[in-house]
Amino acid sequence: MWNQNFNKSSPTVNEALTLLRERISSGNVVVGIYGLGYVGLPLALRFCEVGIKVIGFDIDSHKVETLNAGQTYIERLTSERIGNALAQGLEATTDFTRTVEADALIICVPTPLDNHRVPDLSFVINTVEAILPHFRIGQLISLESTTWPGTTDEELAPRLQAKGFVPGQNCALVFSPEREDPDNPSYGTHDIPKVIGGMTQNCLELGRALYQHAIRTMVPVSSPRVAEMTKLLENIHRAVNIGLVNEMKIVADKMGINIHEVIRAAATKPFGFTPYTPGPGLGGHCIPIDPFYLTWKAKEYGLNTRFIELAGEINHNMPRWVVQKVADALNDRCKSLKGSRILVLGLAYKKNIDDSRESPAVEIMQLLHKKGAHIDYTDPHVPHFPKMREYHFDLTSVDLSASNIKAYDCLILATDHDRFDYELLLREATLIVDTRGRLPEANNVVAA
């Protein structure tokens, strides 16, 4: 447990970091994880699996109660894994005073954009402000939330220093971006190399030693800013290429060319080409958001990131493209979009998961609703429409029976879950608008 002899006024502050290093090296370390969502909870379970004591902090009392009862609220993280973690010492709490019990504090909270695409760092700042009254010398803070280059040394370090905590001297501060990829069968939390940058070399060494318990490969970089920019580059690379292929899809559609056939053919080139697939827009908490953290910060340096912003605009407008394709397809069948019954297939932002954050399917539903269509959805991974900051539909997932399918004027394949019965859909649907290229050409299928 925490050695109470080390407090903020102790004259032997270097001994506090020495003790922290010893505790980390021995594995006798307590990790506090702040934010028990799609990033924080898998990391907490991973530390527990290697015998590290974890205290999980969250402001959502329902999550805390669910975890402490041995249950899960994230589909891919089974109740069995939760139970095993509890047996290894996992505790979930809303009580931030327990911060003092932890040696390493890992922040995994959201970093969304506001309505003007300005970064909203309030979740990070509020978490740090809740931690600081209970922070002590000899603790390590790691920020994993994706943000702009400079956040760690511009926002976190000054708040620590204002309370007498100096990174590298009497505490440690690092940035190590999360790289979770839900439902990736090849790469779990422990398999994905961990990029990490410290405020000082001392901070970096302590951070590396901590994460090495849970993650196989460490990728140290020279500073938190490099680590912050690394995460942005990874996701901007994907966003820009997805924007490119989405634009190519629109061009190919106008020319009567199947873009998916084009991509498959191009992918046979053994060098110089990486296949990206088009879709109804971008989803998840990273790719639709992260590029705008850099565009916002770049303006501070008098720079306009035109390439990134153009890709963002293309991706942002894809749900509108899908809605227009739906309207055109209905019109070709002498039906109006207004008053039509439409079933959206898949609410999650990508296949085979239950995460609907920033899902283009939700934006499509909102646009259709505004145009007077009657909207339902079906998703085997999302039984009830979740709470969202911008959208809310009082809906539950519709069963995909033959009679239900026939009752709709149009089905929109927004997320191509493997659990959908595609033969049944093709056989029974009057019209399917396919945004994922999953279905073969058929009289009742329209590509979008």
| Active-site residue list | 286
175 vs 226: CA distance, rounded Å: 9
CA distances from residue 26 to 2, 7, 20, 29, 30 in whole angstroms, order as listed: 15, 22, 10, 8, 11
- Cβ neighbours of residue 370 closer than 8 Å, sequence gap 6 or more: none
* 144 conformational bin, left if phi > 0, alpha if psi -120 to 50, beta if neither: alpha
Strands 172-175 and 140-143: parallel
Name which of 367, 377, 366, 385 is nearest 404 in CA terms.
Answer: 377
Neighbours of 429 (CB within 10 A): 22
Mark out the alpha helices in 278-380 (DSSP H runs): 290-299, 306-316, 318-332, 360-370
Q: Under DSSP, is residue 105 helix (H, G, I), strand (E, B) or coil? A: strand
CA 116 remoteness from chain centre = 20
In single-letter form, the type of residue at position 299 comes to K
Buried b (16+ CB within 10 A) or exposed e, 170-188: bbbbbbbbbbbbbeeeeee
Buried b (16+ CB within 10 A) or exposed e, 355-384: bbbbbbbbbbbbbbeeeebebbbbbbbbee
